[in-house]
Every structure is written in C-alpha cells, then in structure tokens.
A and B are shown apart, each in its own frame.
Chain A
C-alpha cells in the first residue's frame, strides 16, 4: 500500500495527542497527579494542538475536501465515519477540562472521564479502519488496533513526562514511570504483529483470483494497459519490502530503545533541566520511530488486488 504522508503524519501526531490527553485525564482522575495549571496549559494545550494538526493533515488525503463534513454521517457502518464522530465529540469534554484545569486548577471527574474515553475511542476507530479490511491481510489481524492504541499510549506518556512532568511534583515521577512501562508494552505488541503478519498464510493466490489454478501455474502475461494506473500506484506499492528488516530495527531503536534509556536516565538526572532535555530527546526519538513504523505498516502491506497485476500470493 502507498504510504501517503498525510496519513502517516495524521495517525502519528493525532495518536500521540490522544495518548497525551488520555494519560493526563486518567492520572488526574485517579488522583495520581494534581491538576497544576501550568501542566494543564502545556500538556492539554499541546495535545489539542497535535490532534487538530493531525486531523487537518488527514484532510489533505481527501480529494474533495469541501465535502468533508459528510464523513460523519455513516457511523452506523463505517469506522472512518465513527473516527470522525469520536474525534469531534472528544473536543467537547477535552476543551472544557482544559479550561477548568488551567483557569481554576480543578479537573471535574466527569470531564476527565469523558476525555479519556473519547481519546481511547478515537484511536480505537483509527485502528479498526485498517483492521476491518479483508483484502489487506497484514492489516486484517487482531494486533492492528492494539498496536495503534498502545503506541498512542506510549508516545502520549513520553510527551506527558516532557510537558506536564516538570510542573507536578509527586513523590514519584509518575509520567516517566508510565513511559518506562508503556514503551516496551507497545513495541512488544508491534513485534508480535510483525511476526504474526510474516507467518500468516496467504489469504488468496493468483490461482484463486483468476479461478485458473486447475490448469497449473498461473502467471500474468499481459497487464491490461502498457502504463501504470491508480490501482497500481495506490495498492501495488512494493519499494519497501527489500529494506523491511532494516527499517524494523530502526523503528525499534528509535521508537523503543533510545527513548527508554533516555527516560530512565532522566528519572535520576541531577538537575531538572537536564531531565527535561533528556525527555525532549526521548520524545523526538519515539515519534520518529513511530513514524517509521507507520511507513512500514503501509509499505509492507500487500493488497489482494495485486494478484491481478502479477503477484503470486497475497
């Protein structure tokens, strides 16, 4: 599948934003951290900016943007529509929560609860858009949505450690600890997804796509046209497969190993500003690693349509 920059940026940015929103709302709801105004301003503010920026980027993927409002109408059947509805609805409690938190130093529990639920629901819908597509076996597996959820949580935790951490002073660096837990969790689920995707038997072959298997080996002799077309560009993308193994390692190093070590060191850092610097580097690394993971998610995925353009199995 073609890795469209607008989609990669959207799910990475918005994912981290929703993760941040979720972590802040939940920790304050559970009373782990107090609603310190500066933490709210920087943390919730950044989350809402990232989410909005991500959503606007995703509009870039639409060819008829002027009609984008129509996309919230089919929530009864479409995960994409549900994602839009969830994203818009989440702005309501999240915006109110930010106001109370920043202006009044309070975080009313119904708002915190609704914010956390909305953030989780939106990312869940994003994952389901991909997971619900049978023609793309690498996406149509049970790990897809958990990976989206866990990576949003992990990147959100790192951002919370960076933006809200310095302004709340609990006995424990709660956000740093959360990041140390969620980073390995997210990438373990991703690793499992990669492995099960590699091991899965093809869902269809050129023989079943043409119904000609009974005659022996089937191969494409003449493509329908001499030049490329929308289908081949959009769904026949195959550049990445050669470097997949290397890119997976890069994603793991940038997404997991580097930020995990940096955050570990940050929890012991002698000066608070040094800790902030280390955490900032960790955030940059894990967001880049997630972006590489998203790129691979698209680039490695094969569509059954490609069986009609020369692939033997998908």
Chain B
C-alpha cells in the first residue's frame, strides 16, 4: 500500500549523523554492504568487481566535500543513506505497492517480491538514496537494518544498524526521533541537528549534526616547544647549540 500512514507513527526510527567527527573511513559503507547482501532481500550487486568499470549497489555512500576556502576551509566527510522521510514521495509514486512506510516506526521499505524495477521511486527521491540493483532488477535502499534492530537472537546492545555498530568514531547514532527524551533527539537539540534540503518538503527523519565551528588546531600550532636543555647530556648540548 503506497499511501503514506494517515497519522505520524508513534515511533520515528532514524539516524543522526555527526559531520564533525566522521573521518570518512568507509567502515559503515562496507559493514552496510556486507550485512545487507546477506540479509533483507536479494544480494547487493557487484558487477565487474575486478574489471575496468566496477559498479554495484550500495545503500550507504560517503561523499567528501570541501566547505569554505583558504585557512577557513575544511574537509567534511558526508555519509548518506535513505533518510526515511515523513513526506516520502518515493512511496506514493510506486505503482505496485512494493514501496511502503511502516506505520509503527516510520521505516521506509521495499517489498522486493512486488517490485517491477520501474525506477520511478529513485526519480522521486531528492537525495539519491535508492538504487536499482543491476542484477536482481529490483529497487534497493537502506532498511535501517530491520533484520538487525529487531533480531531477538542478538544481545540488546547489538540491536542497532550495522553502520552505527561499526563506526569507529561514533559519528552515527540510532534511535527514536519522535521521543524528545531519546539520546538522538537530545543530540539534535544540543548540536543544532538539521534536515538536508529542507526546502523540498520531504521532512526527513535522519538528521545531520554540523561540524563544530572554529579550527581544531587553534591555540596549539603556535605554542612553544619544550626546552630540552635542562635535561643536560647530548640532547641538551644539541638544543643549546641549535637554539
């Protein structure tokens, strides 16, 4: 059923991504691919993996942007996957009912057995979060690891999406954004979390935390190096000669 749920879901599960601490290591990209190629739906395509023009399906990709220039310029690593929008046109345009948004927690999913691979939902997503699988011929997108976050055989602490579990800098957070007291909602409030392309009106659930202002190196680069001469010996002599 491709009508969006009539009422906002009681829970709104999603990710909060910290653009300040992401180091662009691509660990989440690989963890996502590996978990999902063996999980929900058909495996994720890898075509000509060792050929001249490799291509494949990825549900999460990390882009690298440069923001500002000169001394104030910074490199921002930018992970992007489906944002599980409230106003998800990708769902309503689907002619078959393969795409749907869960009324209980707002997760946007594709029922691959119904998908005809028309690609219209990928056109309807402003964020480029859906990829038509080159081998299975069905639409692929982030499932928020539905087969992980609800897996009864995993210990409670591991019931989170593979990307969140894997991130070495804890730049990715998972939780209920409908609950104002959840860890993710508090992070959004404290750090000024924002929507991507809010002007398009898709009302994404996932939020991004901006890079902290100022420069990391401030107050450190100019400080004096310590004096080695009080220690005496050869290094002390060298220090005195050279300074």
The minimal Cβ–Cβ distance linking A148 to chain B, given in whole angstroms, is 16
Q: Are A74 and B53 in contact (CB under 8 A)?
A: no
Q: Are A74 and B65 in contact (CB under 8 A)?
A: no
Taking residues whose C-beta sits less than 8 angstroms from the other chain, chain A's interface range is 35 or more
User: Which of B6-14, B117-125, B230-238 is near enough to bind chain A?
Assistant: B117-125
Q: How far is the CA of A203 from the CA of B202 in the complex (A)?
A: 13
Point out the residue from B61, B114, B134 that lies within 8 Å of A70, measured CB to CB: B114
Q: Are A134 and B137 in contact (CB under 8 A)?
A: no
B5: CB under 8 A from chain A? no
Q: A135-B125, A228-B53 are in contact. Are A63 and B199 (CB under 8 A)?
A: no
Interface residues in B, total, Cβ within 8 A:
69
A270: CB under 8 A from chain B? no
A167: CB under 8 A from chain B? no
Q: How far is the CA of A219 from the CA of B125 in the complex (A)?
A: 22
Q: A133-B124, A231-B131 are in contact. Are A223 and B72 (CB under 8 A)?
A: no
Q: How far is the CA of A65 from the CA of B137 in the complex (A)?
A: 10
Residues of A within 8 A of B119 (CB): 61, 63, 234
Q: How far is the CA of A304 from the CA of B62 in the complex (A)?
A: 17
B138: CB under 8 A from chain A? yes
Kindly identify, within residues 279 to 314 of chain A, every residue whose CB is under 8 Å from any CB belonging to chain B.
303-305, 307-309
Residues of B within 8 A of A231 (CB): 122, 128, 131
B93: CB under 8 A from chain A? yes
Kindly identify, within residues 111 to 147 of chain A, every residue whose CB is under 8 Å from any CB belonging to chain B.
129, 132-136
Chain B's interface: helix, strand, loop or mixed, by majority?
Answer: loop
A208: CB under 8 A from chain B? yes
Q: Are B92 and A78 in contact (CB under 8 A)?
A: yes
Q: Are A304 and B126 in contact (CB under 8 A)?
A: yes
Q: When each residue 48-80 of chain A gets 1 if its CB lies under 8 Å from chain B and 0 otherwise, what string results? A: 000000000000011111011011111011111
Residues of B within 8 A of A221 (CB): 64-66, 75
Q: A209-B196, A211-B194 are in contact. Are A218 and B126 (CB under 8 A)?
A: no
Residues of B within 8 A of A71 (CB): 95-96, 116, 118
Kindly identify, within residues 57 to 108 of chain A, every residue whose CB is under 8 Å from any CB belonging to chain B.
61-65, 67-68, 70-74, 76-81, 84
Residues of A within 8 A of B57 (CB): 230
For A140, give the chain B residue with the smallest CB separation.
B200
B155: CB under 8 A from chain A? no
The minimal Cβ–Cβ distance linking B53 to chain A, given in whole angstroms, is 5
Q: How far is the CA of A304 from the CA of B53 in the complex (A)?
A: 25
Q: How far is the CA of A155 from the CA of B184 in the complex (A)?
A: 56
Q: How far is the CA of A129 from the CA of B67 in the complex (A)?
A: 36
A195: CB under 8 A from chain B? no
Residues of A within 8 A of B194 (CB): 211
Kindly identify, within residues 50 to 92 of chain B, every residue whose CB is under 8 Å from any CB belonging to chain A.
53-58, 61-69, 72-76, 78, 80, 89, 91-92
Q: How far is the CA of A215 from the CA of B134 in the complex (A)?
A: 38
For B45, give the chain A residue with the smallest CB separation.
A230
B146: CB under 8 A from chain A? no
Q: When each residue 212-245 of chain A gets 1 if its CB lies under 8 Å from chain B and 0 otherwise, what string results? A: 1011111111111101111100110000000000
Q: How far is the CA of A190 from the CA of B213 in the complex (A)?
A: 48
Q: Are A229 and B126 in contact (CB under 8 A)?
A: no
A-B contact pairs, 10 of them (CB 8 A): A63-B137, A77-B4, A80-B95, A81-B96, A133-B93, A211-B194, A214-B210, A215-B67, A218-B67, A225-B61
> 7 closest A-B pairs (Cβ-Cβ)?
A63-B117, A222-B64, A63-B137, A305-B128, A216-B68, A224-B61, A81-B95
Q: Which residues of A contact B (CB under 8 A)?
A: 1, 61-65, 67-68, 70-74, 76-81, 84, 129, 132-136, 203-204, 206, 208-212, 214-225, 227-231, 234-235, 303-305, 307-309
